[in-house]
Amino acid sequence: MSTIADNPRGKAAPRRRKAASSSRPVAGGMLWIVAVGVLLAGIVAVNVLVLQLNMQLDGLSRDRAELMADNARLRSQLSSASANTRIETQATTRLGLQPADPATTTYVRLAPAAK
């Protein structure tokens, strides 16, 4: 028999196409999944760093508040230590000094310096 007899319509038999390479779309999808995963991991890492910096900032703020309280306490101690009544009491009790009598106090006036 001839080839025409094998195909009654006179057309060539359709050729089967190769199945499209299915590995390429899968590879592209995997690439996107990996890229998104890397980006999400980066976001998580940045958030962890920000959290650590916030914790350090909170600690430093607490330290600052403590130092400001200590400074206020020391200023108060310095103020009470330099009060005139306290100094006068210390001079009379510890050193045995007596306040000067204003009636017997003599002032010396110096002449202005020559230019």
Q: pLDDT grade, residue 14 (50/70/90)? A: low
The answer to whether residue 1 scores a pLDDT higher than 70 is: no
More confident residue, 79 or 9: 79
Examine residue 23 and state whether it is found in any structural domain, yes or no: no
Residue 65 lies in a domain: yes
Residue 37 lies in a domain: no
**Rounded Cα–Cα distance for residues 50 and 84 (Å):** 53
**Nearest residue to 99 (alpha-carbon basis) of 109, 90, 108:** 90
- Residue matched to tokens 């103020």: 79
Question: What does the block give as tokens for 65?
Answer: 């508040």
pLDDT at position 64: 98
* pLDDT in the model for residue 80: 84
Rounded-to-integer distance, Cα 83 and Cα 31, Å = 78
Q: What is the mean pLDDT of residues 91-109?
A: 89
Model confidence at 114, pLDDT cuts 50, 70, 90, reads confident
> What would the two tokens of residue 5 be?
């007899």
Q: How is the chain split among helix, strand and coil, in percent rounded to 5?
A: 65, 0, 35
Paired tokens of 96: 């045995």
Q: Report which of residues 100 and 72 the model is more confident about.
A: 72
Residue 32 resides in a domain: no
User: How would DSSP label each residue in 20-42?
Assistant: P-THHHHHHHHHHHHHHHHHHHH
Q: Is residue 34 part of a domain?
A: no
Please give the residue range of the domain that contains residue 74.
Answer: 53-96
Give the rounded percent of residues in the chain with a pLDDT score beyond 90. 46
Q: How many domains does the chain have?
A: 1
**pLDDT range class, residue 2, cuts 50, 70, 90:** low
> Is residue 105, in this structure, part of any structural domain at all?
no
Give the per-residue pLDDT at 28. 80
